[in-house]
Amino acid sequence: MPLVSVNDYPVRPVLKVLLQDKTTKKNIIFAENEYSQHGPDFSETNEITAEKLTYMHLMPRVEKELEHQQARTRTKAEVFTPSWVCNKMNNHCDEEWFGRPGVFNTEMENGWETNPNTIDFGDLSWKDYVDSRRIEITCGEAPYIASRYDTTTGDIIPLTDRIGILDRKFRVVNENASDDKEWLKWTERAFQSVYGYEYQGDNLLIARINLLNTYVDYYRARLECDPDVKTLRKIANIIAWNLWQMDGITGTIPFGKAEEDFVQAEGEWMAEILNSNEAEEMVEHDQSDTETPVCRIFDWRSNESIKFTDIK
């Protein structure tokens, strides 16, 4: 069975939602020419559609040939992190939040041992933890957020041993929700609290699918049934907002032209750090070119979309 599939439940009923780009109100784009052998509509600036996915084989990096992996590393700086490293970094964030180490697991060489006891919050609030917002930059397949499988080996990680940011939030909800209604509410809020952006369209779609499958994995374990399509659409919509396609330099979709205020800020920051004429030149750009809106995300607590740059 493939690690990621667009043809099966739960993905197929909400695939069009998972392909949405909320900033452009179109679909996410390929942003690289890996699939251009299928025709001119598969070039880097073209949108990914459900129909096009029937002609291409969407697969995680670990399933691709080594030569292909290396080519993506050279051209797109694509590097994926082992799960034990993701765990170490997520543990560091949680140590800062809880004020103590080893909350969810004990680190071992190239691995970890899961804490079997209920997470102790002391004077802290489990709801505050679920609501705490985290972001994975240049997220690839989002291994820091959802650890369904090790992105470097392809090994499936058992549900009770997962170490992603979202997995930890689900564990906390599982241990504290008094009933299924509260569980549904706070697992939805868990999704609303995790963010990530990615340049390449196929990686972003895989990341979105991984988050959706993560929801279904925990839903089945808790409620012993599949979520209905209405529930899947709600979760898929959150995912489409919170995991978005962006060039981290310009703050726009790939190949977009940044708005003046963002280019100015980026140029001045680079000039200050590098103290070089080249960095200062980043501030200058041709006003005759059409600017592309800065990517938008959603603030679920204030119930409004905002520019990504507004949270910096």
Q: What is the band of 69 on the pLDDT scale with cuts at 50, 70, 90?
A: very low
DSSP string of 215-277?
HHHHHHHHHSSPPPHHHHHHHHHHHHHHEEE--TTTSSSTT----HHHHHHHHHHHHHHH--H
Mean pLDDT of the chain: 88
pLDDT at 281 > cutoff 90: no
What was the pLDDT predicted at 242?
A: 98
Q: How confident is the model at residue 15 (pLDDT cuts 50, 70, 90)?
A: very high
Residue 216 contacts residue 231 (beta carbons within 8 Å): no
Pairing of strands 296-299, 304-307: antiparallel
Q: What values do phi and psi take at 106, rounded to 5?
A: -110, 125
Q: In this structure, are residues 255 and 44 in contact, taking their beta carbons and an 8 Å threshold?
A: yes
Mean pLDDT lowest for which of 49-63, 70-84, 155-169, 241-255?
A: 70-84
pLDDT at 301 over 80: yes
Residue with tokens 């504290």: 176
pLDDT of res. 52 = 97
The pLDDT tens digits for 156-207 are: 999 999 999 999 999 999 999 999 999 999 999 999 999 999 999 999 999 9
pLDDT digits (tens, 9 = 90+) for 101-154: 999 999 999 999 999 999 999 999 999 999 999 999 999 999 999 999 998 889
